[in-house]
Amino acid sequence: MHVALRQSELHDLYDKLAIGERLTEGDALRMWKSTDLHAVAALGDFARERKVGNRASYIVNRYINYSNYCILSCQFCAFSRKKRDSDGFQLSVDEIVQKAREALALGITELHIVGGLHPNLPFEYYLEFLRALKVLDPRLQLKCFTAIEVLHLAWMARLSIEETLTRLQAAGLNSLTGGGAEIFESGVRSRIAKGKESAAEYLNVHRIWHKMGNRSTCTMLFGHVEALEDRVDHLRQLRDLQDETGGFVGFVPLPYQPENNQLDISHKPTGVDALKTIAVSRAYLDNFEHITAYWVGLGMKLAQVALSHGADDLHGTIIEEHIFHMAGASSPQLQTEADMISAIREAGRVPVQRDTFYQPIRELSGDCLVPMEPGISGSRLLVNNLATA
Ligand code: SF4
């Protein structure tokens, strides 16, 4: 047992984790409420080590926001604009392809594409840019759209969710993003994102996508008006769906950013809160392989420390980020691959470049990145995993 846990009030949770017993919601709440950060960290780190060993990953990717026009006005959001606003934008398919072309030259393996709930772009626009990006490079993994965007597209196109996802997939969609989860509890959800689709609707889009044989990530926006009990409820609902489908490849806790929005909360979650959230997520979500420390929201220094609190992934190079930076994030717009490798190495982990599905591409050996599975693509590995799931 880790020395930090021997005298700790949380030592019984170590015993549970050690024999593979699932933590309860009460256990998760105890971890969040504990003032013993060392013990909480030791639990998260122990669970990480058992699950994924000593590797920590990153992805070489680029973000693209196709538009910030949105029919909703979520109170926490600093990104969305109305058509009357002078700083609204909407990219053409050619502009999206041009951004992708430039990023391919930097070695990206993934494009992460989201936008607002646009009032009138036709469904064909989304299909067209997916197809155009696959023509540009068929190996490029397209991780696009939140569950909320999918619901919006289905509504605009007057299609079922399954038919909407089927057509998006046929056009090139590889994975859904995890955004739009916010906090599931309906009272909090209405205070921070009035009018947004419910938790059940968010989860149902992911359920359908998973049952089509696909994968996605999921998120939780924390550190605003929610209670710790609401966070536990959020994780419980994600764990339940993961028990049902096994389709989430990773969980990404997102720290709230307080600027330029309508919420009367002027502070970000503290560093201690963010680290505890990573540790509780790792210990409680025993059916998730990967927990990401999102450097855009945490800052790279705290994300690096999170690698010893349960996280095993630093997310991506990103290149151009709008959503968090418009809400006041002070992190840089991008990380180079070298920055991510040295942050991971300094934290005592073995850096691994991963793909969209967290499958390893290259691992650092000495000072060289070495292909991990020569001749086997990430997507083939995923298919193998699905076959044994
Ligand atoms: S969070 Fe998303 S849905 Fe809500 S206002 Fe912002 S862009 Fe629109």
pLDDT for 85 beyond 90: yes
For residue 373, the model assigns a pLDDT of 67
Split at pLDDT 50, 70, 90, the class of 389 is very low
- All domains in the chain, ordered by first residue: 3-48 (no CATH), 53-388 (3.20.20.70)
For residue 302, the model assigns a pLDDT of 98
C-alpha 126/C-alpha 165 separation (Å) is 12
C-alpha 310/C-alpha 290 separation (Å) is 9
Q: Which residues contact 246 (CB under 8 A, 6 or more apart)?
A: 210, 287, 389
Q: 64 CB under 6 A from ligand 1?
A: no
**b/e map of 263-274 (b: 16 or more CB within 10 Å)?**
beeeebbebeeb
Rounded distance from Cα 289 to ligand 1 centre (Å): 28
Q: Could you tell which of 196, 224, 262, 322 is best to mutate to test the pocket of ligand 1, judged by most ligand atoms within 8 Å of the CB?
A: 196
Could you give the angle at which helices 161-171 and 123-136 cross, rounded to 10 degrees?
Answer: 30
Portion of the chain with pLDDT greater than 90, in percent: 86
How confident is the model over 118-177, as pLDDT tens digits?
999 999 999 999 999 999 999 999 999 999 999 999 999 999 999 999 999 999 999 999
Q: Can you read off the two tokens belonging to residue 201? A: 């609707």
Span 103-118, mean pLDDT?
Answer: 97
| Angular region, 254: left φ>0, alpha ψ -120 to 50, beta rest | beta
pLDDT for 374 beyond 60: no
Q: 318 CB under 6 A from ligand 1?
A: no
How confident is the model over 259-302, as pLDDT tens digits?
989 898 888 999 999 999 999 999 999 999 999 999 999 999 99
Q: Can you read off the two tokens belonging to residue 163? A: 């038919």
Cβ-contact 329, 296 below 8 angstroms: yes
Helix (H, G, I), strand (E, B) or coil at 142: strand
Please indicate, yes or no, whether the overall pTM of this predicted structure exceeds 0.75: yes
Cβ-contact 62, 100 below 8 angstroms: yes
How confident is the model over 232-256, as pLDDT tens digits?
999 999 999 999 999 999 999 999 9
At position 288, the amino acid (one-letter code) is F
Cβ-contact 97, 136 below 8 angstroms: yes
How confident is the model over 361-370, as pLDDT tens digits?
999 988 888 9
For residue 380, the model assigns a pLDDT of 33
Q: 347 CB under 6 A from ligand 1?
A: no
Q: Could you tell which of 68, 69, 77, 219 is best to mutate to test the pocket of ligand 1, judged by most ligand atoms within 8 Å of the CB?
A: 77
Rounded distance from Cα 180 to ligand 1 centre (Å): 8
Split at pLDDT 50, 70, 90, the class of 337 is very high
